[in-house]
Chains A and B, each alone.
Chain A
């Protein structure tokens, strides 16, 4: 498997569908990383909608969305499931975060980030925190059956906030 991208590297840009098309012929709603400059982004790659551990992991992040917002960050889930699966999954669980579909070409973004499992055909359970300049500040692949929680995400976001505060004070 290719290596996971590490802290300090630029997070490769990508564009993925983020919601199902409502009516045939409508343009597909998409998400582009480059449009998030100025904001911190948390990317949570996970193997599949509907499986037990992912459900717990996303349920936890769903609780923490206000705390991520407080740290000027937005969290996105990514898996190789289609946007239709994502939509049904979000609705059934009441998740409020946006889920991105790395569906076609399958796993392309996961591959860019070095977290695609070729032999399984889905993503690792991996986390990336990307700062407002698009630089990866934290990256982590969790054992596939272990929910990585949110402690390191929050820790990294707090560090970023701390630096920004420092920069502002120095700039005065």
Chain B
């Protein structure tokens, strides 16, 4: 049947992805998220806690899903993380964005770039030039085609997780996927 309540990732986790944790981890959690979405900020803290709890058993991947119509800064924030990734600092920027969700204008993005040790001038140019716009949009489309239905959307070992993402619930689903 074409109808699908548990859609799966159309693009499996690969080298292009930003991942924390071991490739050999028993469980891979993929989040499609938006840096300006308050629910994603909640999820950010929950995922951190779960990573601590599960340690090497979990690999966490973040893909961009900026809802630009609802969140005017989401696209540039996503691009900022990609610019940082080119210098191997994706997660530093990812964390800085969620820690400072209330200030995601371009000037603030630049200041976070400086804080994590990026060349602020080059960062500004890459942001203005939309260097990673295509990459962010490719993430977005891969999300839509995989059944992302809002932010955050989680996939556990490639299958969309439809439950609520509170700590206990998400942890339980991940631990179940492990066995």
Contacts and interface: CB of A to CB of B under 8 A. Distances in A.
Interface of A: 56-57, 59-60, 62-64, 67, 93-94, 96, 138, 140, 142-143, 146-152, 154-155
A32 B144 CA distance: 29
Nearest to A64: B144
Given A146-B5, A147-B149, 8 more contacts: A59-B150, A93-B70, A94-B70, A96-B69, A146-B149, A149-B7, A150-B144, A151-B144
A110 B3 CA distance: 20
A105 B7 CA distance: 36
B159 to A, nearest CB: 13
B4 A151 contact: yes
Interface of B: 2-5, 7, 67-70, 144-150, 162
Contact of A152 (B4, B148, B162): B4
A143 to B, nearest CB: 7
Contacts of A67: 144
Contacts of A154: 144-145
A143 B5 contact: yes
Contacts, number: 55
Nearest to B4: A152
B146 to A, nearest CB: 7
12 contacts: A57-B150, A59-B69, A63-B67, A93-B70, A143-B5, A146-B5, A146-B162, A148-B149, A149-B147, A149-B149, A151-B7, A151-B144
Contacts of B2: 138, 152, 155
B3 A63 contact: no
Contacts of A56: 149-150
Top 8 closest pairs, chain A to chain B, by CB: A149-B149, A56-B150, A147-B149, A151-B147, A149-B147, A140-B3, A62-B69, A59-B70
Contacts of B148: 60, 149
Contacts of A155: 2, 145
B65 to A, nearest CB: 9
Contacts of B5: 142-143, 146
A63 B68 CA distance: 7
Contacts of A63: 67-70
Nearest to A139: B3
B3 A60 contact: no
Given A146-B162, A151-B144, A60 B149 contact: yes
B150 A60 contact: yes
Given A59-B67, A63-B67, A154-B145, A147 B150 contact: yes
Contacts of A146: 5, 149, 162
